[in-house]
């Protein structure tokens, strides 16, 4: 097993790996070396459903870290990118476990967790787990980009026709057409596990500043979904920025500038 490079060590073009879970899946990660201190927290990137750490937003964060001497850690969930495992075996619990392993073993000091789409849900689960462990001090802030907490139930299951739900329950899987490439395999395990990780049912606190960027023209995560999250974070310092012409990816130069500005504001 290869271990991740510690903070302050350039990983270069080749990723490092750490082992997560009882099945010893190999999680690929890259670390941009730099500071990770109370006044200059490190940054942990949590990507979206079917995305990877070589995407536009993740690369922009890594480049920002190199320019500003800030440690930026990014990784691929199992079944994504350069990590091992089959995507169809993935669940929210499994991918959250991957993120926890990276946070615990590949980052040092306080972290700003930047979560995109599904990564926003993972970031919230990470915040909840840290609170349960009494380690909220390690969470400097959350920056959430088109966050999709509870998406398996709220944005998938509830929107599916009855025949699709029946197919998932009977066959265990359904291939959902996607504008971002090949079809998305939605499994019964993903849906059922998602229900065990719902976060929007009642108010909760993450104990740190939260910045949310949401496109009003997002076809995948409606801006009202982000507003619902804001109402659940009633005790925290939360700012929601609506981008009128923004889509789900928020990867245009002006969107990337907004994301980096949000990170700089909270850290």
Number of separate domains in the chain? 1
The residue annotated as part of the active site, out of 98, 150, 193, 218, is 218
Residue 179 lies in a domain: no
pLDDT per residue as tens digits for the range 221-244: 999 999 999 999 989 999 999 999
Residue 139 located in a structural domain:
yes
181 within some domain:
no
The rounded mean pLDDT for the chain is 93
178 is an active site residue: no
**Is 1 within the bounds of a domain?**
no
The answer to whether residue 185 is domain-embedded is no
Let me know if 218 is a catalytic residue. yes
Q: Is residue 102 part of a domain?
A: yes
Catalytic residue among 78, 83, 117, 236: 117
Pick the catalytic residue from 78, 83, 248, 255.
248
| Structural domain range at position 60 | 16-151+203-266
Q: What is the pLDDT of residues 136-172, one digit of tens each?
A: 899 999 999 999 999 999 999 999 999 999 999 999 9
Note if 162 is an active site residue.
Answer: no
pLDDT at 179: 67
Q: Which residue has the tokens 């009642």?
A: 202
Residue 214 located in a structural domain = yes
Select from 122, 113, 102, 98 the least CA-distant residue to 42.
113
Q: What is the DSSP string of 92-161?
A: HHHHHHHHHHHHHHH--S-EEEEEETHHHHHHHHHHHHHHHTT-GGGEEEEEEES--TTHIIIIIGGGS-
SS3 label, residue 267: coil
Task: Tell me the CATH number at 78.
Answer: 3.40.50.1820
């Amino acid at each position: 097993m290869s271990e991740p490079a510690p903070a302050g060590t350039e990983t270069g073009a080749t990723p490092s790996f750490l082992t997560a879970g009882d099945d010893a899946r190999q999680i690929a990660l890259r670390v941009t070396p730099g500071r990770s201190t109370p006044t200059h927290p490190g940054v942990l990137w949590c990507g979206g459903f079917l995305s990877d750490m070589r995407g536009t937003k993740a690369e922009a964060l890594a480049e920002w870290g190199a320019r500003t001497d800030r440690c930026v850690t990014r990784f691929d969930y199992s079944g994504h990118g350069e990590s091992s495992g089959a995507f169809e075996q993935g669940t929210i619990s499994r991918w959250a476990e991957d993120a926890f392993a990276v946070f615990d073993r590949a980052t040092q000091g306080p972290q700003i967790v930047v979560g995109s789409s599904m990564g926003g849900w993972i970031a919230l689960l990470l915040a909840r787990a840290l609170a349960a462990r009494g380690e909220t001090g390690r969470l400097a802030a959350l920056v959430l980009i088109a966050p999709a907490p509870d998406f398996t139930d709220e944005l998938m299951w509830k929107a599916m026709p009855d025949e699709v739900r029946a197919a998932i329950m009977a066959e265990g899987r359904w291939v959902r057409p996607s504008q971002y490439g090949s079809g998305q395999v939605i499994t019964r395990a993903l849906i059922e596990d998602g229900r065990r990780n719902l976060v929007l049912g009642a108010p909760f606190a993450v104990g740190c500043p939260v910045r949310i960027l949401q496109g009003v023209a997002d076809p995948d995560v409606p801006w009202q979904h982000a507003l619902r999250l804001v109402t659940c974070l009633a005790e925290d310092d939360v700012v929601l920025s609506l981008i009128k012409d923004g889509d789900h990816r928020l990867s245009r130069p002006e969107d990337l500038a907004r994301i980096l500005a949000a990170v700089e504001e909270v850290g």
